[in-house]
C-alpha cells in the first residue's frame, strides 16, 4: 500500500536524541509513509499515552493494516511533544514515536499547522481527531485548513450542542464530511438485538452499558471529576446515539421519560482536587416517543466489563440477550491481551468495531463509498441534545423522590443534597 521515497530524517524526541548520541550518528530512514491510490492519508490528532490513549489504539490498528483503506502518515500530539514530554507517559510515547517512525515512516508534529501539504492534489486526506472534547471545534477548523475532506470525530464531538451546530455549518461550507466514532452503531450485539426485536411485535429493547470502576468514593469521585461532563454526555452517550440513529429519539420527539428509581443512583462526591461533583453512578430510564417507539437505557459505572442488549416481551419477560464480548469476541480478547499487555481492557472487547468504523470512514474518504451505519454529525447533535435534556429531568426525578441507593464507604447516596450534608 505504500509508495516508497528515499528520505533521510533525524529523530527529535528525547529517546531519539539519546539513540543518536549513543551511536554518534543519525539514524537514516528509508521512507515517509504515503497512501496508495485507494487509501486515505490519515492524520491522527491526539495519540495519547501508549496502552492508555484511544488515539494510540487507533494508531496500532492502522499500522497493523487492519483498516486497509487507511494509511497512517502523520500523528499530531501537542502534549507529549511539548510540556508532557518529561512527565508521566512521556518516555513511553517517545519510544512509540521512535519505533513507528523507523518501521512505518510516520511523521510526528506538535500541531496541525506543522503538517506538510498533501503529496498531490489527488491525495484524499482524513483527520482522525481523538483528543480532548473541548479542543474539537478548533481542531476541526485546523483540519479543514490542512486539506482534509473527511473528519472522524470521537464522541461526543464538542462540549455543547451549539458548538456542534457551528461545526456542522463550518464543515458544510468547506464541503467536508464529518463522521462520528460511535462504534456501538456497528456492534454485533446491537445488530443482533435489533434484528430479533423486529420479529417480535410489541417487544421492548434495553441497551445496557457497564464499566469497571470500584464502588468507592475515591474511585467514583475521580471518575466524576475526570468525566465532568456527566454520565449522559460521556459513558451513556453511545446509547443515546443508538436511540437517535435507530429509534427516532430527539428532544422534539420525546413524549415521556421514566426513571427506574429502584435501580438508579445519584451521588455527590469529592474528586482528587477536593471539589465536589454530582453525577449518576448508575441510571436506568425508558423513553417513549411521539411516533410510538419505546426503548430503555441502563448504565452502571460499577457494573462490570460486559455490556449487552436485551429484548423483552410486552409483559417484561426477557426473550433474548446478546452480550459484548460474546464467545467469539472473548477469543479475540485473549489474543489481544497477549499482544498488548497492560492496555485498557475496553480496547479489546470493542476491537472489531473500532476497525469497522475506521475502515468505513477511510473508504468514504478514499473512494467516496457510503459509510453505512456510521453516525453523522446530525446524530451527534441529536444525541448530545437528548443528553442535555435528560440530565436535569432525571436529576429532578431522582432527587425529588427516594431513588435507589448506592453504598459508598458507609454513605448512602440518594438525594445529592443529603450526601453533601453528611
- pLDDT tens digits for 49-83? 999 999 999 999 999 999 999 999 999 999 999 99
Question: For residue 300, what pLDDT is reported?
Answer: 97
- Tell me the mean pLDDT in the region 233-260: 96
Question: For residue 399, what pLDDT is reported?
Answer: 81
Q: Does residue 82 sit in helix, strand or coil?
A: coil
> Residue 90: pLDDT above 90?
yes
- In angstroms, the CA 99 to CA 106 distance is 9
C-alpha grid cell for residue 201? 411485535
Share of residues in the chain with pLDDT > 90 (%):
81
| Residue 400 confidence class, pLDDT cut points 50, 70, 90 | low
Question: For residue 5, what pLDDT is reported?
Answer: 36
Helices (H), 29-160: 54-63, 90-104, 136-145
Q: Contact, 24 vs 91, CB < 8 A?
A: no
Q: 272: which residues sit within 8 A by CB, 6+ positions away?
A: 221, 222, 225
Question: For residue 346, what pLDDT is reported?
Answer: 85
Which CA distances in Å does 20 have to 11, 89, 107? 8, 21, 18
pTM for the full predicted model:
0.84
Q: 246: which residues sit within 8 A by CB, 6+ positions away?
A: 194
- Tell me the mean pLDDT in the region 353-380: 97
> Residue 7: pLDDT above 90?
no
Q: Contact, 178 vs 376, CB < 8 A?
A: yes
* Number of neighbouring beta carbons within 10 Å of residue 77: 26
- In angstroms, the CA 280 to CA 403 distance is 11
Amino acid at each position: 500500500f505504500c509508495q516508497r521515497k528515499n528520505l533521510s530524517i533525524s529523530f527529535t524526541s528525547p529517546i531519539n536524541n539519546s539513540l543518536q548520541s549513543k551511536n554518534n550518528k543519525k539514524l537514516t530512514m528509508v521512507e515517509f509513509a504515503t497512501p496508495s491510490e485507494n487509501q486515505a492519508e490519515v492524520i491522527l490528532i491526539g495519540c495519547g499515552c501508549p496502552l492508555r490513549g484511544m488515539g494510540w489504539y487507533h494508531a496500532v490498528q492502522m499500522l497493523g493494516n487492519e483498516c486497509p483503506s487507511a494509511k497512517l502518515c502523520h500523528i499530531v500530539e501537542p502534549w507529549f511533544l511539548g510540556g508532557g514530554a518529561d512527565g508521566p507517559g512521556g518516555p513511553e510515547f517517545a519510544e512509540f514515536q521512535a519505533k513507528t517512525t523507523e518501521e512505518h515512516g510516520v511523521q510526528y508534529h506538535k500541531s496541525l499547522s506543522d503538517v506538510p501539504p498533501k503529496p498531490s492534489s489527488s491525495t484524499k486526506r482524513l483527520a482522525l481527531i481523538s483528543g480532548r472534547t473541548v479542543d474539537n471545534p478548533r481542531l476541526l477548523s485546523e483540519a479543514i485548513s490542512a486539506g482534509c475532506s473527511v473528519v472522524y470525530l470521537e464522541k461526543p464531538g464538542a462540549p455543547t450542542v451549539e458548538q456542534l451546530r457551528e461545526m456542522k455549518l463550518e464543515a458544510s461550507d468547506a464541503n467536508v464530511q464529518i463522521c462520528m466514532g460511535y462504534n456501538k452503531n456497528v456492534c454485533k450485539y446491537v445488530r443482533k438485538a435489533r434484528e430479533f426485536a423486529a420479529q417480535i411485535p410489541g417487544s421492548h429493547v434495553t441497551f445496557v452499558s457497564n464499566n469497571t470502576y470500584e464502588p468507592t468514593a475515591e474511585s467514583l469521585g475521580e471518575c466524576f471529576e475526570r468525566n465532568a461532563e456527566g454520565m449522559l454526555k460521556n459513558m451513556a452517550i453511545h446509547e443515546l446515539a443508538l436511540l437517535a440513529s435507530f429509534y427516532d429519539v430527539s428532544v422534539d420527539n420525546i413524549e415521556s421519560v421514566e426513571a427506574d428509581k429502584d435501580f438508579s443512583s445519584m451521588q455527590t462526591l469529592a474528586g482528587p482536587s477536593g471539589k465536589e461533583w454530582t453525577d449518576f453512578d448508575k441510571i436506568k430510564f425508558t423513553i417513549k416517543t411521539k411516533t410510538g417507539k419505546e426503548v430503555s437505557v441502563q448504565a452502571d459505572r460499577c457494573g462490570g466489563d460486559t455490556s449487552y442488549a436485551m429484548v423483552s416481551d410486552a409483559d417484561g419477560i426477557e426473550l433474548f440477550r446478546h452480550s459484548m464480548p460474546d464467545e467469539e469476541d472473548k477469543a479475540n480478547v485473549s489474543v489481544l491481551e497477549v499482544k498488548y499487555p497492560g492496555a485498557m481492557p475496553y480496547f479489546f472487547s470493542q476491537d472489531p468495531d473500532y476497525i469497522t468504523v475506521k475502515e468505513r470512514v477511510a473508504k468514504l474518504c478514499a473512494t467516496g463509498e457510503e459509510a453505512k451505519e456510521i453516525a453523522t454529525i446530525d446524530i451527534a447533535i441529536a444525541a448530545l441534545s437528548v443528553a442535555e435534556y435528560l440530565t436535569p429531568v432525571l436529576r429532578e426525578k431522582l432527587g425529588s423522590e427516594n431513588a435507589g441507593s448506592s453504598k459508598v464507604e458507609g454513605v448512602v447516596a440518594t438525594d445529592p443534597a443529603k450526601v453533601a450534608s453528611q
